[in-house]
Amino acid sequence: MLVKFLVVVYGLHEQGINMSSVFKRLFYQKNNGESGSCNVYGDPNDCPDPRLYVVVDGRAGYIKVGNPNSPYASPLRCFIHSAGKEFALWRIYPHAKG
């Protein structure tokens, strides 16, 4: 049975200097109080397909997505039309450069 959660995106935070192209962090909070964040990358090479494309402060950004059953999965979901299925936005990524 598919269960949907109310999720509120409550902010974007400027990311400090590191070795990857992360320039923002997307923060979210579920209706049960659980919260977390996802990295927003500026370089598509740091964020392989499939990925979620976003525009933040006029700048192109990419959020890593993957299997909803992964330990890296956030509660946020998106449907990637080119792949034809639903993915989870990843809160951390095991192969990140920074």
pTM of the model: 0.72
**Bridge partners for 26 per DSSP:** 12, 38
Give the model's pLDDT for residue 92: 66
> What per-residue confidence (pLDDT) applies to 98?
39
Residue 3: the pLDDT is 41
User: Average pLDDT, stretch 24-50?
Assistant: 86
Reduce the DSSP state of residue 78 to 3 states and report it.
strand
- Alpha-carbon dihedral 32, 62, 49, 75, rounded to 10 degrees: 0
Please answer whether residues 51 and 63 qualify as being in contact, where contact means their C-beta atoms are separated by less than 8 angstroms: yes
Q: What is the pLDDT of residues 46-90, one digit of tens each?
A: 888 889 998 888 889 999 999 999 888 998 899 988 889 999 998
CA distance 40 to 5: 22
